[in-house]
Chains A and B, each alone.
Chain A
Amino acid sequence: GAVVSQHPSWVICKSGTSVKIECRSLDFQATTMFWYRQFPKQSLMLMATSNEGSKATYEQGVEKDKFLINHASLTLSTLTVTSAHPEDSSFYICSARDPSEGYNEQFFGPGTRLTVL
């Protein structure tokens, strides 16, 4: 199956700083990628849909100015958590669909664990 990578796998930062997380589709081109957030012992919640060459679509309740998404190429989407606070500590997971698989299956990255001190 298709492979999606994320970098970094974990990051610790101080409150008030910004953190960038990268999501890459390694062997396919993805016009759309998805960003999810998973709090401890909870399920994945969709944050936003990242669209190559256009603005991201954010889910209700997700602050677009805080979670900046840039989908600059067909293989890379970035999520920047601006002015991070401890409540932003979470597991961030991206995913993408492979057009060669008919967009029927979603492939997930390994996730990035963010800890804000």
Chain B
Amino acid sequence: AQSVSQHNHHVILSEAASLELGCNYSYGGTVNLFWYVQYPGQHLQLLLKYFSGDPLVKGIKGFEAEFIKSKFSFNLRKPSVQWSDTAEYFCALDTGRRALTFGSGTRLQVQP
């Protein structure tokens, strides 16, 4: 069965710091990968997605992620975080069975 691992459970950064959140998955076939963000009290929002093609994908709000197939990774990055980026971030995997498999989430806290 497929799985998604997010090793950073809680990250605290100062504003303007660079961000990288790790995401590794376990599945031997073709995958679609997603990063979702959940702001406090709000529902999940899609940050970015990878289906095929350029492994470096750009999303909303300055986020990007790189798919490295050999490492089974899809790390999320942002060069300079803002206080408004404080949220929970989820990496998710789609193997074609239509439902998503989520990682455990990373809570990002940005201090002003």
Residues of A within 8 A of B (CB): 1, 32, 34, 36, 41-46, 49, 93, 95, 97, 103-106, 108-111
Contact = CB atoms under 8 A, between A and B. Distances in A.
B46 A105 contact: yes
A42 B99 CA distance: 18
Contacts of B103: 43
Given A32-B98, A49-B99, A103-B98, A111 B43 contact: yes
B44 interface: yes
Contact of A42 (B42, B94, B105): B105
Contacts, number: 44
A62 B109 CA distance: 33
Contacts of A42: 104-105
Interface string B93-104: 010001111111
A42 B106 CA distance: 10
Interface of B: 32, 36, 42-44, 46, 49, 51, 90, 94, 98-105, 107
A41 B104 CA distance: 9
A111 B36 CA distance: 15
A46 B100 contact: yes
Contacts of B104: 42-43
B98 A97 contact: yes
B43 A109 contact: yes
B7 to A, nearest CB: 13
B43 A46 contact: no
Given A46-B99, A46-B100, A108 B105 contact: no
A42 B101 CA distance: 13
A43 B43 contact: no
